[in-house]
Amino acid sequence: MTYPDRLGPVSLLLLCLLLPLSSMASEDLRLRFDALDSGFPLMAADQPLAATEPLQRFYRANGFKLAWWQQGRLSDQAQELLDAMVKAVEQGLMPVDYHYPLLRARMATETLAMSERAQVDLELLLSDGFILLAAHLSEGKVNPETIDPEWHAQRHGEDLEHLLASALAEQSVGNHLAALSPVHPEFRALKQARQHMARLTSEPWPNLRSSTLVRPGQESELMPALRHRLILLEDLARDDVDSEASQSSSTYDQQLAAALARFQARHGLEADGIIGPATLAALNVTPFQRVHQLDVNLERWRWLPRHLGDRYVLVNIAGFRLQYIENGAQVMEQRVIVGRDYRRTPVFSDHIRYLEFSPTWTVPPSLAVRDQLPQIRKDPDYLQRLGFKVYNGWGAGRETVDPHSVDWQSLTARNFPYRLVQQPGPSNALGQVKFMFPNRFNVYLHDTPSRDLFRQADRAFSSGCVRIENPMDLAQALLAGDSDWTRPRIDDLVASGRTRAVNLRHPVPVHIQYWTAWADEQGQLQLRKDLYNRDG
């Protein structure tokens, strides 16, 4: 099924003429849209309808004919729509948002005996439900930019009235709606994980408790319940528990410890097999809560472009990881450091346009006052030791200032006139390379001299930019299509310490996203804590 992205009014009218319409226009339908022009809400069965503008364009184009009816009866497309509403639950959408209960109740009655008003009510409920469901499948139920200024979504701009006309003309409502969901394999894998978790919502899920740490080899009455829970969560194969006695054993054996370590790794915990408070808290999250978490992350996929790029960089803030993808396959994965909670890394997509080797770092004024000034006050040699130059003024006319001539104790946010620029070198906060995609957030990817931080499980230490673990590997991958930039030449440039910008011949998409749940390359469900409390 294909349809054009945009359709003009004349083309929409021609398409509407192909619909299996009732033979006569509805005067009641016309009057309702006339009332809408006069400022009254568009109503059906005493319910206000949401998709008023596309509905108005659709029905004006088709001459106010009933599009869901044939010879006084509802077409089969009405039932296809209801089936699609039920199926949307698999993506975390709720049929009640599309008038499903009312539609099901009204469609169960004899439509031949319906008054014209009742027919128009049912007609409008079906069309409004279709358009709302189509919008949610293709673009998401929520516009994140209205609730989070640090989140920029990619809106697809579906032509919803044309979509409705095309679906009815081709008698293919179900297929048209199914084609709107994200096509990314990761989205499908997350849907499958949701199905499994949804099946567990009928299982009892009592809290697992222990007043002490439990280590492999110890005895604990927690073991039978832990063993059962890990089987349900598929971290322990049921066939591996070979007897009823094994299932009820209170010994924390190596097999069970290995299964718990798998669980811990999937939840971003230290995979040490030790049962402590963090592990118990993760085990006690109910399947119902996990389903909600998965629904939130399925929604986030609907905010992304339908095509991420033939090759692209993908950063997951909550997962602290970067992936480099080529032709649908992961070529590289790295750990990353992201913004602290009070300096959150924003969510958006852009294109990496150039790399800058041995960069200088011009400290943003806010960070100069909040972060650098307290350090300078405590240590008079701080600026010199870390390779900073101090300038008064901006641009070509700026003047170099001797830091020892400044009374740093007297400066505040209101009277701080200086610009701090850190020169290239081993202490430079940006490391040896930065990856630039100019954006309104002033965020980019870069190296860091603080290598020890990558060993931490939670890596929210930056001021908003993304620090990557092996930046030269990424630089080599991005420049791989340029025969002039081999790895030895890159290494020579870095060793020289010269600042140089290198443009990419073809800008590479970069998607900085936020997922607390995803399915990895092996199909394993990965779950992480909500770093910035964005799931709500």
Q: Would you tell me the crossing angle of helices 116-139 and 27-37 to the nearest 10 degrees?
A: 60
**Residue keyed to tokens 């993908």:** 314
Q: Catalytic pick from 136, 176, 267, 446?
A: 446
Nearest CA among 141, 137, 143, 127 for reference residue 54: 127
What is the distance between the alpha carbons of residues 19 and 165, in angstroms, rounded to a whole number? 7
Strands (E), 45-152: 47-48, 69-70, 73-74
What is the distance between the alpha carbons of residues 169 and 123, in angstroms, rounded to a whole number? 16
**Residue keyed to tokens 């849907």:** 191
Q: Catalytic pick from 16, 162, 267, 465?
A: 465
Contact present, 326 and 478 (Cβ < 8 Å): no
Contact present, 4 and 152 (Cβ < 8 Å): no
Long-range contacts of 299-302 (CB under 8 A, 24+ apart): 299/92, 299/140, 299/141, 299/142, 300/140, 300/513, 300/514, 300/515, 301/182, 301/184, 301/186, 301/187, 301/190, 302/136, 302/137, 302/138, 302/139, 302/140, 302/141, 302/181, 302/182
The full DSSP string for 193-234 is: HHHHHHHGGGS--PPP--SS-B-TT-B-TTHHHHHHHHHHTT
Residue 465 bears catalytic tag:
yes
The full DSSP string for 125-164 is: HHHHHHHHHHHHHHH-SS-GGGT-TTB--------HHHHH
**Residue keyed to tokens 């609730």:** 147
Burial class (CB in 10 A: 0-12, 13-18, 19+), 169: middle
Which residues have C-beta within 8 Å of that of residue 457, sequence separation ≥ 6? 268, 269, 270
Query: Which amino acids are annotated catalytic?
Result: 446, 465
